[in-house]
A and B are shown apart, each in its own frame.
Chain A
Amino acid sequence: MKIVVCIKQVPATSEAKIDPETKRIVREGLKAIMNPFDIYAVEEGIQLRDKFGGEVIVLSMGPEKALLSLREAISLGADRAILLSDKAFGGSDTWATSYTLAKAIDKIGDVDLVICGKQAIDGDTAQVGPGIAAHLDWVQATYVMRVEDADSKSIKVKRMHEDGYDICEMDFPAVITVLKDINIPRVPTLKGCLASLKIEIPVWTHADIGAAIEKIGLDGSPTRVVKTAPPPPRNIITQRIEGSPQDCARQLVRELRIRSIL
C-alpha cells in the first residue's frame, strides 16, 4: 500500500496574531509544530503500512522550517518525506494548496491512499483533504474515526457526522481525513529522531510538480479574506456560594436546576 500523509506545520500557540494588512497569521517569533491532527494521520499511515506492507511518504507545503515537522514524521516511522517549497506557493488558500498537493501526489505516482488530519488548527477550514480528492477526482471520506478493514485494493472506514456514523467502503485510490479518536499516536524514539536527522528530504518547486502558475499562490486562490477579528470575550460571571457545606450544596443544586443543567 503506497500511502501519502499530508501534514502542515502550524504555530504552537493559540495566541497567534493576525497581520492587519495581509490578514494572515504573523508566524515570526512563534514556535512551529506539526498540526496536532496530522500526528494521528501519520500514525494511521504507519499502522496501515505495518499491517499491509508498502510505504508511507509524508508531504508538506511550506517554508524550509517545515522540514522539522517532516523529520518528526520520519522519526515516528514514515519512510520518506517531500517538502513543497517555492515563493510561488505563497498566499495560497485551501483551493490552491490542495491543487499543489494533488500535483505532488500525482508526481509521486501509484499512490493508493492519501491521509490528512481533519483540519489544521491555524486555519480550521477542514477543506484541504476534500480539496485534494476533488483535484485528483478520487473518492474520499472525511472525519474518519476508525479503519474497519483494508486490503490491497480497497478500504472500509467508519466516519462520524452530526447524526451518527457512516461505514464507507472505497476502492483505491482514495483520500481520508482522520479524527483524533482513530488511534493513539506513538511518541518518537531517540533512535528515530537521530536517524531522521540523516535523511535527505527533497524540496520540490512548482516546476518540479508541473503546477500551472496561475493555479498556485495568490493568483490561484479564489478566497479573499476581507476581515479577521478575534471572537468577542466570553462574559463569565462568577457566583460565590457561602454557608455550611449542606447549605452550599443545596444552593448549588438550585442554581444548576434554574439553568436547566440538572
Chain B
Amino acid sequence: MKHRIQKKMYHVEILPPKQDTEKLEADLELFAEKYNRVMESVYCASITDNAMGNLAFQGTEIIEELGLEVNPEQVMIHLNTFHTKQDLHNILDICKSRGIKYLLIISGDGSDRLPRLQPSDVQVKGVVESVTSVELLKYIKDEYPDTFVLGAAFNPYEPPEHEFEKLQRKLKAGASFIITQPIIKKNDIVDELLEKYPDVPVIIEAWMSKKIHLLSDAVGYEIPEDTQFDPIETLKMLHKIYPACGVYLSLLGFKTQYHLIKETWI
C-alpha cells in the first residue's frame, strides 16, 4: 500500500448503480466509463458497498457482468457486514478469481432490505450480539489466508480513546491499512494516528463535493449550508499537511474535477 502513495495513486470512489434505478443500462455504462477512466489514469477504483444503506449493485457483479479489466493494484472493493453468508462468499470468491486483492472492511449502514451477518455466520464464539468490521476482518483473514490485503476505517471525529481502542482490534483482526473519514484541515487525531502507527499505511479521505455542509453529521459540528468550500484547493492543502498519506477521493466530479486532480500531488 505504501508504494501507491509513493506512486501518487489516488483512490477514486465509484458508486455502483442503485438497485431502484429506472435506467440501469445507462447507469452501468456510466459506471464502466468512470472505472475505465480510473484504470487509464493508473489510480485505484474504490467501489462502495450499499453506501449509506442504499441498495446498490455489487462492484464485483458489475465487473463480472461487464467484463471490466482488473489490475489487482488498481481495484479496491468495500465490504460491509450487511450481507448473507452466501452473498459474502460470492463476493469474496469473485474477488479471488478476478485477482482483486484490496478490500476495505467496514461495519456499514444497514436498511430494512439488507440482511446482516449473524455471529454464527462468521464463526464468532461467546457473547457477541452483532457482527462488526472486527469480526468480519478476522473471518476473511482466517477463511481466505494470504489472499487479500484488508483495510479498516478510522473516524477521527469519534472519542479518540474509544476509536484508537477499536482500531487496535481491527489491526489485530487482520487490517493492514487505514482509511480515515473526510479530513478538511489539519486534524490532531490524525496526527496522533500517524505518530502511533508509523508503519501502517494511512489514506486520508478528501471530500470532493462543494457541499461541505453535508459533512456536519460526520464531523460532529454544524457547518452552515452557505459555507464556501474549494475541494481542489483543500486537496492540495492536505497533500502539504500529510505528504506521507495516500488520498481517497469521495464524491469526485468526473466531469468537472477529474482532469484537475493530476496536478494536485506535490
Q: Which residues of B lie under 8 Å from residue A193 when comparing CB positions?
A: 19, 24, 57
Asked if A191 meets B61 with Cβ closer than 8 Å, knowing A33-B20, A184-B84, the reply is yes
Whether B115 pairs with A190 at a CB distance below 8 angstroms is no
Choice from B25, B65, B113 contacting A191 with Cβ under 8 Å: B65
CA distance A38 to B199 in the complex (A): 51
The B2-53 residues at the A interface (CB cut-off 8 A) are: 19-20, 22, 24-25
CA distance A75 to B61 in the complex (A): 14
Q: Which residues of A lie under 8 Å from residue B112 when comparing CB positions?
A: 36
The smallest beta-carbon distance between A195 and chain B, in angstroms, is 11
Indicate with 1 or 0, residue by residue over A241-262, a CB within 8 angstroms of chain B CB atoms: 0000000000000000000000
The smallest beta-carbon distance between B118 and chain A, in angstroms, is 10
Indicate with 1 or 0, residue by residue over A64-104, a CB within 8 angstroms of chain B CB atoms: 00001000000000000000000000000000000000000
Chain A residue at smallest Cβ distance from B24: A193
Choice from B24, B25, B55 contacting A187 with Cβ under 8 Å: B55
Whether A197 pairs with B24 at a CB distance below 8 angstroms is yes
Q: Is B93 an interface residue (CB 8 A)?
A: no
Whether A187 pairs with B114 at a CB distance below 8 angstroms is yes
Inter-chain contact total with CB atoms closer than 8 Å: 33
The B104-128 residues at the A interface (CB cut-off 8 A) are: 112-115
Indicate with 1 or 0, residue by residue over B53-95, a CB within 8 angstroms of chain A CB atoms: 0010110011001000000000000000000100100000000
Q: Is A201 an interface residue (CB 8 A)?
A: no
CA distance A205 to B175 in the complex (A): 59
Residues of A within 8 A of B (CB-CB), count:
16
CA distance A193 to B27 in the complex (A): 13
Asked if A187 meets B19 with Cβ closer than 8 Å, knowing A194-B24, A197-B24, the reply is yes
Q: Which residues of B lie under 8 Å from residue A186 when comparing CB positions?
A: 84
Choice from A68, A185, A190, A197 contacting B113 with Cβ under 8 Å: A185
The smallest beta-carbon distance between B17 and chain A, in angstroms, is 9
Whether B84 pairs with A189 at a CB distance below 8 angstroms is no
CA distance A193 to B20 in the complex (A): 10
Whether B58 pairs with A190 at a CB distance below 8 angstroms is yes
Chain A residue at smallest Cβ distance from B115: A184
Whether B65 pairs with A194 at a CB distance below 8 angstroms is yes
Residues of B within 8 A of A (CB-CB), count:
17
Q: Which residues of B lie under 8 Å from residue A33 when comparing CB positions?
A: 20
Q: Which residues of A lie under 8 Å from residue B61 when comparing CB positions?
A: 189-191
Q: Is A54 an interface residue (CB 8 A)?
A: no
Whether A190 pairs with B84 at a CB distance below 8 angstroms is no
Q: Is A188 an interface residue (CB 8 A)?
A: yes
CA distance A176 to B265 in the complex (A): 62
Indicate with 1 or 0, residue by residue over A173-201, a CB within 8 angstroms of chain B CB atoms: 00000000000111111110110010000
Whether B65 pairs with A187 at a CB distance below 8 angstroms is no
Q: Which residues of B lie under 8 Å from residue A187 when comparing CB positions?
A: 19, 55, 87, 113-115
Indicate with 1 or 0, residue by residue over A154-179, a CB within 8 angstroms of chain B CB atoms: 00000000000000000000000000
Choice from A31, A39, A188, A190 contacting B62 with Cβ under 8 Å: A190
Q: Which residues of A lie under 8 Å from residue B57 when comparing CB positions?
A: 189-190, 193
CA distance A189 to B84 in the complex (A): 13
CA distance A191 to B61 in the complex (A): 8
Q: Which residues of A lie under 8 Å from residue B84 when comparing CB positions?
A: 184, 186
Q: Which residues of A lie under 8 Å from residue B62 when comparing CB positions?
A: 190
Whether A188 pairs with B19 at a CB distance below 8 angstroms is yes
The smallest beta-carbon distance between A201 and chain B, in angstroms, is 16
The smallest beta-carbon distance between A78 and chain B, in angstroms, is 16
Q: Which residues of B lie under 8 Å from residue A184 when comparing CB positions?
A: 84, 115
The A124-148 residues at the B interface (CB cut-off 8 A) are: none
Most A CB contacts (10 A, CB to CB) among B25, B62, B65 go to: B65
Chain B residue at smallest Cβ distance from A12: B20
CA distance A188 to B22 in the complex (A): 14
The smallest beta-carbon distance between A196 and chain B, in angstroms, is 10
The smallest beta-carbon distance between A252 and chain B, in angstroms, is 22
CA distance A194 to B24 in the complex (A): 8
Q: Which residues of A lie under 8 Å from residue B113 when comparing CB positions?
A: 39, 185, 187
Interface residues of A (CB under 8 A from B): 31, 33, 36, 39, 68, 184-191, 193-194, 197
26 A-B residue pairings within 8 Å (CB atoms): A31-B20, A36-B112, A39-B113, A68-B22, A184-B84, A184-B115, A185-B113, A186-B84, A187-B19, A187-B55, A187-B113, A187-B114, A187-B115, A188-B19, A190-B57, A190-B62, A190-B65, A191-B61, A191-B65, A193-B19, A193-B24, A193-B57, A194-B24, A194-B25, A194-B65, A197-B24
Q: Contacts A184-B84, A187-B87 known; list 5 others, CB within 8 Å.
A: A39-B113, A185-B113, A187-B113, A189-B61, A190-B57
Nearest 7 pairs of A and B residues by beta carbon: A190-B61, A190-B57, A184-B115, A190-B65, A193-B24, A188-B19, A189-B61
